[in-house]
């Protein structure tokens, strides 16, 4: 019956049928965290959202201020190259939990290092920059406005 209505060429009916077809072909909605982390629609980065290798090297060397370097790769990926100096590993799937954990003791128990404040500079990196971009966007969306992305990530840093 649906194909018959479309073939009749009635504009209003055709439009409704197409809208219905699009609606039923959509995947099931995800949770807020999943939509934020795995969204295929990404905003372009504005100045200041990205940290370059030279800037990160200078931060690490001079140890200026309070900053946190977070590797969002999976543990098996980290085991291949290791971590950048002073980095902590929190896989991308655990980033929402880490950012939502308010209690310092609980955070330290789960992640084995001190919890960061919303004002702290947090720099995310991964293998090629895609997952760290999602982590940065998510962190900013929940109030960590000093979250940055090291887009070069481990490919640039380790050269592999």
Q: Closest Cα partner for 113 from 132, 88, 94? A: 88
CB 36 within 8 A of CB 138: yes
CA atoms of 139 and 144, how far apart (whole Å): 5
The phi, psi pair for 72, rounded to 5°, reads: -100, 15
CB 91 within 8 A of CB 146: no
Is 126 an active-site residue?
Answer: yes
Q: Name the active-site residue from 4, 17, 126, 160.
A: 126
Using the structure block, give the residue that is written with the tokens 């590797």: 71
CA atoms of 116 and 56, how far apart (whole Å): 18
| Active site (catalytic) residues | 126
């Amino acid at each position: 019956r649906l194909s018959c209505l479309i073939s009749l060429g009635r504009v209003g009916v055709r439009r409704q049928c197409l809208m219905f077809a699009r609606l039923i072909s959509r995947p099931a909605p995800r949770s807020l965290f999943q939509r934020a982390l795995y969204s295929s629609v990404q905003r372009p980065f504005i100045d200041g959202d990205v940290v370059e290798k030279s800037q990160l090297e200078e931060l690490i060397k001079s140890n200026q201020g309070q900053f946190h370097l977070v590797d969002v790769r999976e543990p098996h990926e980290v085991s291949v190259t290791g971590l950048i100096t002073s980095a902590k590993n929190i896989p991308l799937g655990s980033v929402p939990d880490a950012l939502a954990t308010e209690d310092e003791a609980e955070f330290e128990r789960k992640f084995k290092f001190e919890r960061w404040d919303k004002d702290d500079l947090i720099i995310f990196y991964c293998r090629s920059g895609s997952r760290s971009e999602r982590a940065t966007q998510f962190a900013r969306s929940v109030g960590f406005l000093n979250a940055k992305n090291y887009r070069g990530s481990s490919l640039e840093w380790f050269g592999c």
